[in-house]
Amino acid sequence: MTCRKARRFLDEHKIPYTYRPIHEERPTSQELKTWITRSGKPARSFFNTSGIKYRQLGLKDKLPLMSEDQMIEILATDGFLVKRPLFVLDDQVLIGYREGDYDGLL
């Protein structure tokens, strides 16, 4: 649902983007490292905490014990673990979508 809202916002404001279904085209560990750095957020912020896979793996209890590199390796194994949408720009990465998040792109 939030992906659709983000795409609608981008389309309505004629902001160009490339759609990538990350559940099919998983991000690599290196991409994730770069995105995490650009976002200024911790690796933990990139997890889709409401996803089935997150719950199945019991990550709520495991993440606090993991290093950032371990988190990145897990994220790279399954695109459904990654919070969406991700809007990747040259110098920043926006995670998820909330009203007003993308206003700075205008």
Enclosing domain of residue 88: 2-105
Residue 74: predicted pLDDT? 97
How many independent structural domains does the chain possess?
1
Residue 40: predicted pLDDT? 94
- Neighbour tally for 36: CB within 10 Å: 21
Residue 31: predicted pLDDT? 97
- Neighbour tally for 76: CB within 10 Å: 18
**What's this model's pTM, rounded to 2 decimal places?**
0.89
Average confidence (pLDDT) over 89-99: 87
Residue 103: predicted pLDDT? 81
Give the domain CATH number at 21.
3.40.30.10
The residue among 34, 94, 42, 84 whose CA lies nearest residue 103 is 94
Residue 81: predicted pLDDT? 97
